[in-house]
Structure 1
Amino acid sequence: MPSTAFQWLGLVGIIWLQVINGTNTNFPAYSSQLKQLLSISQFQLNNLAFASDAGKLFGFLSGLAAVYFPLWLVLMIGSTLGLIGYGVQFLFITNQISSLSYWHVFFLTVLAGNSICWINTVCYVITIRNFSSDRQVAVGITTSYQGLSAKVYTSIVDVAGHKKRAITFLFLNSVLPLIVGLIATPVVREIEVIRPKHISVGFVVIFVITIASGIYAVMSSLEFVSSKITPIGNLIGVSVSLLLPLLVPLSMKIVESWHKNTEKQRVYNFTLEDGHNERTDNEVKEGEESEEVQDVGVREEVGAKVMLRRIDFWLYFFVYLFGATLGLVFLNNLGQIAESRGYSGTSSLVSLSSSFGFFGRLMPSIVDYFYRDSKCGSAISRPASMMVFMAPTAGAFFLLLNKTHLALYVSTAIIGVCTGAITSIAVSMTTELFGNKNFSVNHNVVVANIPVGSLLFGYLASIVYRKGVNEGGKCMGMECYRTTFIIWGSLCFFGTFLAFILHARTRKFYSH
């Protein structure tokens, strides 16, 4: 049976993949520059923001591929799609290839957006299978690092300089996922490991490292702190935080060796005292080192066709649409929102949203881990958890009606936290409601609401924005997004109500 240290090494590989897989979160950081380079309107720019999310409409292809192909091949396909999607755009902007039309750029962005689904599918499937009874904890930890993606990319770009930000972002988006994918492929694979008794040691260590990394990311994103840190110093800090998770498999290897030696000594003493030598080292390993085989804990196993006929699926779909998807649309438009309010620190806002999204994705794991081990009764249901994070998101949209920069910062942080949390919760919720067997397809069907919401909510924002456009093609002032924020906040409150209904319908299942 494989070592538990290798199980944790695989988790580290998934963490690295998630860090570099948030390429679409970089869009707000260079959207204004891209708009100028391509000489396109705000309406066309919103189309490009939608195109990145539209790739998720074809995410089910990655789910099907995960069923029939080796997962390492699925990972390489995803990395290659990103290389083509972003790479060709990079060559175009740097005049390495002949002129591309706007629609060529649009479809390349769709392809790049689809690449994210392939890498995510591999990460989710392996994490859930390798940590079945601890899936929310493991998934939350790994996906939280995707919240650091914009922070990592921005740190590298800051070292490269500010003059060619769009070009540098596109280059990194194209090559980093492929490079990290090649590095992680040998360790990111499904393995059969019985849940060891000392698995809590690994989770405690990774929690400490993850929280410390998140604190550094948040602090270094604050303007009064970031101004005192050099770009190279910031990049070194980010790099160290990404290498620290390697301490987990190392510590687990030490614990595993100590545990084996302790058991051998105990059996040896037992044999000397009682004359029994029938228990072998292998029996000790299987019987003493491990607990029961992991419990999957799902409501039922259904395929996508059956799932689409369930009321619970559609409630879940619209809760996600009016919650996490609305949050993502806001973050995609963050550059234009900040510009319309006369705020020039878009990069710091993107890093801030990324850092708080990191903690948002991690929070459900922390709650699940410590609440599960307590003796407080039944666990909080996933729909109830979503409801808890939906309400503050709605409030944050209304807070944006305040024109101060502080309101912009606070709202961005709240939306980042809540969007990240809902995204993390959804991975486990899809498994629990519709099963583990068809997860790779089912979850990609669920997240198809992201491009749908990006299209609807993005165009709504664009229409309102265009009413206030000046001669320079920009809209300046609070009126550019005031109506949009009111509508988004109202829809989010409605989504909170839908989450309550879903909680009521699934309460009996979660009570067990």
Structure 2
Amino acid sequence: MSSWPSSAHWLGLVGTIWLQTINGPNSDFPVYSSQLKELKGISQVQLNFLAFASDAGKLFGWFSGVAALYVPLPLVAFVGACFGLVGYGVQYLLVDSPGLKFWHLFLLTALAGNGICWINTVCFLLSVKNFASRSRVAVSLATSYLGLSAKVYTSLAETMPRLADSKAKTYLLLNAVVPVIVTVFVAPALRLFDLKSDSMSSTDTTFLVMFAITLATGACAVVGSIGSTASWLSSRQQMVSLSVLLAVPILIPVALKMNKIGEAKREKDDAVVVIEVTDLETTAAEEEVGGLQLLKKPDFWLYFLSYMFSGTLGLVFLNNLGQIAESRGLGRTSTLVSLSSSFGFFGRLLPSFMDYYSAKSGHSISRTGSMASLMAPMACAFFMLLNQGSVFLYASTAIIGTCTGAMTSVAVSATIELFGAKNFAVNHNVLVSNIPVGSLCFGYFSALLYQREASKRGAATCSGASCYQATFAIWGASCVVGTLLCVVLYVRSRS
């Protein structure tokens, strides 16, 4: 570790924010999935397998955790970006070719999905290690920007000149190139350093400024999504305003650096080093558990299953959003995807606010309790989808996006709370293996029901609310089960 000035804490956080913003290239899949389905002549079941393929890459995400122990973090992030470059880049080049078979698409998508794990591992480690006393706040703040990925990619695709002769190729090209460009740009800031920091009050003040910027960015994304629906805000205006707000956080480390230079002479002989102790470690499990040892813990399986029946279920819903919108007769799928992305952003940010104010009051909020409270409204949202009205579709999408985003953010801290911080990079990648398992089970089942409804009409595609009626009922019931499991986990880990 290097010992940088305190401004480097925030420079690293800004780099993490930018990485998270572009580290959800799979989130735009619903926008071009229907065209890809038609282009390659694949069935709804096969299309769901492609959505699962991106999640399947997480089965090997623990490799990134091991690599982070021995390899510099900028290189770990670059490896992840290169996996995405190959995975999506080859699809972009050959998607029109009959030689690119379905199993090729599956493997390439899985490779790109694994690359996401590598970049996430870097972002999580930077937030946890470099902001010890406010690690929960830093993690939630940084990961909230992952919720903007779909919005950023859809805005780029609609704003830039036509990059390819089809929508699918445009998104595949952006998914391949954008993460590499951003990773190379922010690589110098991706550093771990000794726990030397400003006073706590200074850190809190800086976080408040960052919260204000983040809220403005999220508001811009939501207004942009609503504006595109009402046709009073152009895609170019959305992209410009969003880009400006995403660039503003860099002013924080610059201002801190200038302030340090101004105070250097007066404080040279009276330097104070504040050794901060992570708030997460004070609530972490007494016994550090790592790797396959997790499988012996009842809490692991409660956490694994409760998350699979809720957070993972939300991701499956978002992966199928394109087909759901098409079956309901909505013209612009990108609008619904942008809406879910924008509300997912606020959902990821919510735990950061809660942790910030709970830390100031000296109380710690249980992560398992937070997760249980987020699962209940998600279950209600799935049952709301049984109503055929478009208003219920938009409202449910916003609720599911918010709760899924919040649980994704909370889960990072929950891993440390339950199993300790020492082996966090490996442990969290083992725990999120529930995502591909849930994606396969729930996605495949919904695709079979979709195909059954379509076959009743003698068509390849299904139209009408009945296409997903049974699916939503099953997903809602599953989410109720997940809520109950998480309540049990909360009771067990409450002490």
Bin of the TM-score, shorter chain as denominator length? over 0.9
Inter-CA distance 57–292: structure 2 relative to 1 (3 Å threshold): closer
Counting matched residue pairs gives 484
Find the partner of 1:394 among 353, 361, 379. 379
Q: Which residue of 1 aligns with 2:131?
A: 131
Q: Which residue of 2 aligns with 1:453?
A: 438
Is 1:507 equivalent to 2:494 in the alignment? Answer: yes
Q: Which residue of 2 aligns with 1:286?
A: 272
Amino acid at match of 1:79: A
Q: Which residue of 2 aligns with 1:481?
A: 468
Query: Deviations 1:33-52 (Å, cap 9, x if unpaired)?
Result: 11111111111111111111
Indicate if the aligned counterparts of 2:133 and 2:276 stay in contact, CA closer than 8 A.
no
SS at match of 2:460: coil
Query: Deviations 1:231-250 (Å, cap 9, x if unpaired)?
Result: 22111111112101112212
Amino acid at match of 1:144: S
SS at match of 2:453: coil
Inter-CA distance 286–94: structure 2 relative to 1 (3 Å threshold): farther
Q: Which residue of 2 aligns with 1:252?
A: 256
CA distance in 1, matches of 2:43, 2:289: 44
Inter-CA distance 201–94: structure 2 relative to 1 (3 Å threshold): farther
Q: Which residue of 2 aligns with 1:57?
A: 59
Indicate if the aligned counterparts of 1:339 and 1:476 stay in contact, CA closer than 8 A.
yes
Q: Which residue of 2 aligns with 1:334?
A: 321
Structure 1's unaligned 5+ residue stretches are 265-280
Inter-CA distance 190–77: structure 2 relative to 1 (3 Å threshold): same
Equivalent runs, 1:123-202 vs 2, <5 Å? 123-160=123-160, 164-197=166-199, 198-202=202-206
User: Which shifted more, 54-63 or 324-333?
Assistant: 54-63
Is 1:222 equivalent to 2:209 in the alignment? Answer: no
Q: Which residue of 2 aligns with 1:48?
A: 50
Indicate if the aligned counterparts of 2:81 and 2:119 stay in contact, CA closer than 8 A.
yes
User: Which shifted more, 67-76 or 6-15?
Assistant: 67-76
CA distance in 1, matches of 2:333, 2:469: 19
CA distance in 1, matches of 2:306, 2:203: 33
Pick the structure with greater CA Rg: 1
Find the partner of 1:203 among 201, 204, 207. 207
User: Which shifted more, 82-91 or 33-42?
Assistant: 33-42
SS at match of 1:199: helix
Q: TM-score, normalised by structure 1?
A: 0.91
CA distance in 2, matches of 1:494, 1:28: 27
Amino acid at match of 1:487: I
CA distance in 2, matches of 1:349, 1:341: 12
Indicate if the aligned counterparts of 1:21 and 1:146 stay in contact, CA closer than 8 A.
yes
Equivalent runs, 1:465-476 vs 2, <5 Å? 465-469=450-454, 470-476=457-463
Query: Deviations 1:144-193 (Å, cap 9, x if unpaired)?
Result: 00100010110110013686221110001001111111111111111113
Q: Which residue of 2 aligns with 1:273?
A: none
Inter-CA distance 115–292: structure 2 relative to 1 (3 Å threshold): closer
CA distance in 2, matches of 1:91, 1:444: 31
Is 1:243 equivalent to 2:230 in the alignment? Answer: no
Find the partner of 2:394 among 381, 399, 409. 409
RMSD: 1.7
Indicate if the aligned counterparts of 2:327 and 2:464 stay in contact, CA closer than 8 A.
yes
CA distance in 2, matches of 1:210, 1:257: 27
Cα shift at 1:75: 1.2
Amino acid at match of 2:433: A
Indicate if the aligned counterparts of 2:144 and 2:348 stay in contact, CA closer than 8 A.
yes
Structure 2's unaligned 5+ residue stretches are none
Amino acid at match of 1:454: S
Give runs of ≥4 in structure 1 deviating > 6 Å.
Answer: none
CA distance in 1, matches of 2:258, 2:210: 15
Q: Which residue of 1 aligns with 2:74?
A: 72
